[in-house]
Copies of this chain bind each other. A is one copy, B any other.
């Protein structure tokens, strides 16, 4: 028997269900589920994602076997709907829609009204009216010629020469000639004329006729959906979202229902709860006498679905609740049924055809991070989900948004709102305004933060939206493209600010009579929908009580520790507020960077350029109080929590002064010439400093510094202890490749410990950041009481990639899929991960309860945190700002592994 590629759904005999999304795509699986639930779903069938791969791999052809399955499913559909596809009298029309495993909104193609042709038009007219049918026909020609005949055939017309543009031009000319303002002004005859002109243009431009055969149209539509999986936009979106290429898309062929059959018809989209705030209120938009695309595309400002969710922009428009109370109740009941069934907020599409409600789609709705937290906690309270599910409902990356800057309310109060729009993506954003996706990308590449302003966005704007810090559109509702995408990314976004008037040619925007040129600084309040033509200070938003409660819940299920990388008491304070349980990486050298470090840095430089041991020791002695103060302050701030102090890591030449003024001062202090300073500096130059004289290599050749640092740690601990505090310092040796390095450094540790005296216990461990240290971790663990993976360096060495030099090839490697992701962003589990797992296993083979952490930058990346959990790490350490994300990611990992509850 041939493989089953086609699944029917309808009132009876539905073959799929919600758990088959890998095969049927999200849309197909949920259409089947809704049909089984007895909801009014127009019948149809889903052609599987597996077939998409077959189709694309094998010359884009339909085999006889699959054609047979399609014919059978079409027959079932006809039976369910009581109509016949291609029939003269009672013709069935269908839509062909994409639907992948993961939602890829607007990234693939759709063809509506498929099946309209000379043969079926009279029958359709008999069932509705002539004007409606020819309007549907001209829409079909426009869409089909563009999607099926041009895009799917990989025809790349010159700018402005695409078939769609040319057809729109014809329509525009007709309207102009007749003096029409709106499409609805066109008469039946106008539409008939238009269809003839369209077909002639299609033949002229594309060299073949618009198909007049219903079956040909059907296969054309299905093929175009599958081909659009490999369209430029889809590929680009998959890269951003890390969606595998081999998932493929399903194609849903569904009976058409029409929201544009007059004033008793309508179409809408809704969320079972508010996707921006999480409020438990049915929330949606609808339009009378319209097709679904009209709502999503933002061409008309949609109506509110009910009274309680009306807002500034739509309060004057009629709600479905008041206009059609019975239909609203039916829809509201469906909303309740779906939430009870799916235990999650649903994003639904519906159409009302001549007073009858039809469900076209339902899926778990995208939501902002704020909404995710609110819904999770609400649904937990409602008993809809359990605690674990509540924790899992918020993606760790979504927390970024909760932690995102908001505008300083005091400043905002004083500022003037120049325009208001819909609050589509929360948080605050400040940046220079730009008007095209390209300009946004270019400005971001220059390091500028920008606000992208568009009439409305479409999938072609993806890169620019990504690059912008905030998005502002003139049209579209809360379910418009811009709103959906921004929400998915947790990006500040305001849509439907209809009072803005953009002049793309001049690169200006006119608001309230005033013209703003490109580069003007705007501030957006994406939570309220307010726009300001000035910069407003942004601030943190971590004091949300709902957020704190949610994080407490997450911590209940988390088993892996979360620390922070912090180098000062101030850093430490920030991270503690985010829930850090200690410092996993205190970089001694960071006290020489940045503000207030001048004096210490100057002494350090004297030390580096010392000509002999005496000069060196003198500088080291001078440096001691600075190092001790920095360490002591941090230990005090973190009282009772572990603080892992890493010994000096970077190559010394990093600190050699480059400026002449600095060189002069140093020369004076050392009593030598500038030339001598430069000469000594040059001696420190290295060909490959990343693999040079650094870390413990420096620590063993320059033992005075090592001892000084260890002494600072011991003395600080001793003094704090004497003052009744509970300092918990740990000493970490960087860049080790051999246990003998640890043994040598331990001699220095022991000597200092004996010298300082007192009953101070300071665990002694090592960074694991050199492949050899992983390979010989069993030996390393004989000396080291703990490991901490330095995944930045480990990634560099394992790949042989210098992070500073990957610009020349990494973009191309990501483009060509040589690498799945930038390994410096997320741990390369296949390669680097193997070394990590090996090191954990080997390390614990010689030291049972070896404590193992990670302090590379990936420590705050959710996928990396999950990997660390699986690898058995004791804790992750990340930047203070990412601590909450790591906590949640760790909770997710524990829950998914069924290993939760061990900690608290």
Please give the residue numbers on chain A whose beta carbons come within 8 Å of chain B beta carbons, in ascending order. Answer: 686-693, 697-698, 700-701, 735, 737-738, 740-741, 744, 769-772, 775-776, 793, 796-802, 804-805, 808-809, 812-813, 816-819, 828, 830-832, 834-835
19 contacts between A and B (CB under 8 A): A686-B804, A687-B690, A687-B804, A688-B688, A688-B691, A688-B802, A688-B804, A688-B805, A689-B805, A690-B800, A690-B802, A693-B809, A701-B809, A738-B818, A740-B817, A771-B835, A772-B798, A772-B832, A776-B831
Asked if residues A809 and B772 are in contact (CB atoms below 8 Å), the reply is no
A816→B692 CA distance, assembly (Å): 19
* A804 contacts across to B, CB distance below 8 A: 686-688
Asked if residues A831 and B689 are in contact (CB atoms below 8 Å), the reply is no
Distance of A837 from chain B, by nearest CB (Å): 10
Contacting residue for A775 out of B772, B776, B831, CB 8 A: B831
Q: A691-B796, A771-B771 are known contacts; what are 12 more A-B pairs with Cβ within 8 Å?
A: A687-B805, A688-B689, A688-B691, A691-B691, A691-B800, A701-B809, A744-B816, A744-B818, A771-B831, A772-B799, A775-B798, A775-B830
* A741 contacts across to B, CB distance below 8 A: 818
Asked if residues A687 and B802 are in contact (CB atoms below 8 Å), the reply is yes
Distance of A309 from chain B, by nearest CB (Å): 49
Distance of A860 from chain B, by nearest CB (Å): 23
Asked if residues A770 and B818 are in contact (CB atoms below 8 Å), the reply is no
* A738 contacts across to B, CB distance below 8 A: 818-819
Distance of A841 from chain B, by nearest CB (Å): 14
A812→B798 CA distance, assembly (Å): 26
Q: A775-B834, A800-B735 are in contact. Are A808 and B697 (CB under 8 A)?
A: yes
Asked if residues B737 and A809 are in contact (CB atoms below 8 Å), the reply is no
Distance of A849 from chain B, by nearest CB (Å): 25
Q: A744-B818, A831-B737 are in contact. Are A800 and B687 (CB under 8 A)?
A: no
Q: A700-B816, A797-B771, A816-B700 are in contact. Are A691 and B740 (CB under 8 A)?
A: no
Distance of A793 from chain B, by nearest CB (Å): 7
Asked if residues A799 and B818 are in contact (CB atoms below 8 Å), the reply is no
Q: A701-B808, A744-B816, A798-B772 are in contact. Are A689 and B692 (CB under 8 A)?
A: no
Asked if residues A691 and B802 are in contact (CB atoms below 8 Å), the reply is yes
Asked if residues A799 and B812 are in contact (CB atoms below 8 Å), the reply is no
* A769 contacts across to B, CB distance below 8 A: 800
* A797 contacts across to B, CB distance below 8 A: 771, 797-798, 800
A835→B775 CA distance, assembly (Å): 8
Distance of A554 from chain B, by nearest CB (Å): 33
* A799 contacts across to B, CB distance below 8 A: 691, 737, 770, 772
Distance of A766 from chain B, by nearest CB (Å): 13
A698→B806 CA distance, assembly (Å): 11
Q: Which residue of B lies closest to A801 (CB)?
A: B691
* A802 contacts across to B, CB distance below 8 A: 686-692
A689→B800 CA distance, assembly (Å): 10
